[in-house]
Structure 1
Amino acid sequence: MNRGLRLACLVVALALPLPGRTATDPARAASDAAVEIEAAMQLLAEAEAAPDRVAALTETTRAFETGLAAMREGLRRVTAREAELDRELQAREGEIAQLLGTLQVMGGTGTPAVFLHPSGAVGTARSAMIVADVSRALDAKAAGLRARLEEVRVLRQLQQSASATLADGLRGVQEARTDLSQAVADRTDLPRKFTEDPIKTALLIASTETLGAFASGLAGIAEDERALDLPPVRTRRGEIPSPVRGRVLRGPGEADAAGIERPGVVVATRPRALVTSPTAATIRYRGPLLNLGNVMILEPEPGILFVFAGLDVVYGASGDILAAGAPIGLMAGQEGDLGAMLTEAGGEEAGTGRSETLYIEVRQDNVPQDPAEWFRGLKE
């Protein structure tokens, strides 16, 4: 193969784009996540003086969770992009060496005689035109190589700087959760729809073996219940916000590892994830129940119940009336430390990490419904 053809092949090879390349997206995602965490830090600083500290700290905790999730995803994409560039550069080591050698030769101080063509002036002119075209193409490819190397450098810098941002975010979300729990405990101004009779509640728990049976007897544990008009939720079916950030693991009727089938959905969440009331609602029950762990049962309107099971911490008391978005509890587990988060972001299954599970069930007139038809974001 003559030199001109080899140069042409090299130009074509280095010009081939990678499928789906979006060079700036990973860096942009990580940078935007850092901004979100900084905004959450500001919210935390302002929450101390907020008139409604519970609402302010709920917003702050959610902001931290959103920012940390975005940072984990951004780091995952940064790591994946860096690995992609490394593989590309390693695979093209021979081509790159040839490119650099060719550029060095063409950029040398050789005499014009090296470009003379045996066929005379016309051949020499044509040779000069070919060399000029190849030179421009080689310059473009060299610029592309420099851009790839610069991108690798930027991505590695982002990974290094992410450590400080993640550390701030982890400290911030832990502080926000602690302050939120204290603010909820100190709250005394929640309106109440009824007062729970603890003896009747204990008898109901002891006498029921299913969630449906327990739900059907909830009205019997209330004393001094008053009428209450909350915004209707039936008309918002399918548009109600999800109570927690996460992804669906199992849908209605899908058996778990023990072979148990339930009519609700199981959602994987981050450890210590905040769970909030998706709508204005009354707490009909909160506490341990059957084999479901800590359970929160909300009544947004008569005849409809939202059941959330598997929480570690539950807020409020039976009979409390909650606003939409009010905190109802925290998931179990511990948020990973900085090293674990960085390792997780770079792993093959990055972005999933350790998780807890929240069981969500909707009952209308005590008949189970598909929660995915009620809450946004619960489609599998």
Structure 2
Amino acid sequence: MISVKAPGKLYIAGEYAVVETGQPAILVALDQFVYVNLEKSNDLGSIISKQYKENSLYWKREGNQIIFDNRDNPFHYILSAINLVEEYAQSLGKKMEFYHLKIDSELDSPDGKKYGLGSSAAVTVATIKALSEFYELNLSKEHLFKLASIAHLNVQGNGSLGDIAASVYGGWIAYHSFDKEWLKVAQRSYTISELLDLNWPNLKVTQLTPPDNLNLLIGWTGSPASTSHLVDAVALHKANNQNKYNHFLENSWKCIDTMITGFKENSLSKIQESLIYNRELLRNLASLSSVEIETPLLTKLITSAEKFGGAAKTSGAGGGDCGIVLIDKSMNVEPLFAYWKENGIVPLSLHVYQD
């Protein structure tokens, strides 16, 4: 039995801008996980998830190809990861086998709602980790990131892949988005093995060390949001407001660069100032694109946190899901949590996961 896990994530700053090539963002990996157990089988494979009991998926082989009978299934990212890893494994001369995959996720609420913690990225990473161990591929973190990014993009089609980076590397990271158009072209010219060894244009992942007095608080508004749809909505409007959008990108870059300096200088105040500025940039982007990034409940989360001396903003695409607060560890946050609960905001007891 092979057992692996991959953590969820939250965006700290740099959302929306980071979908553009080379743009930076800061993310953090969290101690809630997707777990994948893999067990070798003889003549039948399966993918079973506790979250989708009624949609468990069974498959057979025709030669080295996996054949699925179920046409409507919730496992697109898992299937994409399987197909990609098996293609890579075959290129290395590995014999294809049958196996049972069992998947469990802590990244959703008990009633199945998503917290916005990057469950699709985490399940992609965890699946590839399990198969890498099964086929003895000995993937480095860089290669794991690249494989997971390709598998994820094959399904989602957009996004920055920062959530993949957080799930692979753990801890606090600064992530610079790679050139996804280059990757599309490169996939037609290079084998998977060659792609993994190439330098991907603009890709950069840097581990960050937070100040000792930094406390990260997370509040969930109970309203799941679709990142893909929100990113698409912003993309539709940017063509009509290209100058203003370019200005947003320029300011976001400067903001994240200043925040990274705050981490390097161990300065909570500089990080907080950058977070507040990033919130304003996102509010301006929302106005520009007519997309609701900061919902009324997220605004309430943010303004209440500011009254307690914290800096706060939406996390990720917004439109619901989570808000984050960066606050000094010396502050008593229980009154803030009490206010959140009174107003329908769920404090999530999550901590930074360091791989």
Under TM normalisation by the shorter chain, which class is it? under 0.3
- With normalisation by structure 1, the TM-score equals 0.19
Larger Rg: 1
Considering Cα pairs closer than 8 Å and 6+ residues apart, tell me whether 1 or 2 has the greater RCO.
Answer: 2
More strand by percentage: 2
- With normalisation by structure 2, the TM-score equals 0.20
More helix by percentage: 1
